[in-house]
Chain A
Amino acid sequence: GAVVSQHPSRVICKSGTSVKIECRSLDFQATTMFWYRQFPKQSLMLMATSNEGSKATYEQGVEKDKFLINHASLTLSTLTVTSAHPEDSSFYICSASKWSGTEAFFGQGTRLTVV
């Protein structure tokens, strides 16, 4: 099946700094990618829809100035957590689908720890 890759898989940062997470579709082009956040023992929560060449669409309650999304090419979307705080520590996951397909492919996730 198609492959979606995230980088890094784990990151530890100091409170107040920014962290960038990359999501790449390795063998297909994706005009739309999705970013999720997952806290321990909870389900995935959709944060935003990343659209190539245009602004991301954020879900209600997600701060767009804190979680910056850039989708500059058909194979890469980035999520930047700005001024990170310990409460931003979470598992961040991206997904993408082929244009003509219906199943979603997920990255392996990024474990962010803010200390």
Chain B
Amino acid sequence: DAKTTQPNSMESNEEEPVHLPCNHSTISGTDYIHWYRQLPSQGPEYVIHGLTSNVNNRMASLAIAEDRKSSTLILHRATLRDAAVYYCILRIFGNQGGKLIFGQGTELSVKP
């Protein structure tokens, strides 16, 4: 399974943008880049995913490098409710996607 590397922790101020980086230098052509987040004592929550092009949804934006070896999750205006552990994971498409292998993730803290 291709691995991802993320910083252990990041801090942000409320209402400011947050850029969460992820390196995945061994990504293959069939891997989608997924982001999930986990609040304390809850199951993970899907945030966004992409293959090659940048993606936007109501929660966040995903910027993917041209060589696909890295990506950045962008929270446009951090709120206190965005404080969570963010996981960047590679996953193949279809056939129910195959298993998700979690790394250590980035713990995001948001200061008021």
Contact = CB atoms under 8 A, between A and B. Distances in A.
A111 interface: yes
Interface of B: 32, 34, 36, 38, 41-46, 49, 85, 87, 91, 93-97, 99-105
Contact of A104 (B41, B93, B97, B105): B97
Given A43-B87, A44-B102, A46-B101, A108 B43 contact: yes
B43 A97 contact: no
A102 interface: yes
Contacts of B87: 43
B17 to A, nearest CB: 24
Interface of A: 1, 4, 6, 30-32, 34, 36, 43-46, 49, 91, 93, 95-109, 111
A31 B96 contact: yes
Given A43-B104, A49-B99, A104 B36 contact: yes
Contact of A46 (B32, B38, B96, B100): B100
A106 B94 CA distance: 17
A97 B97 contact: yes
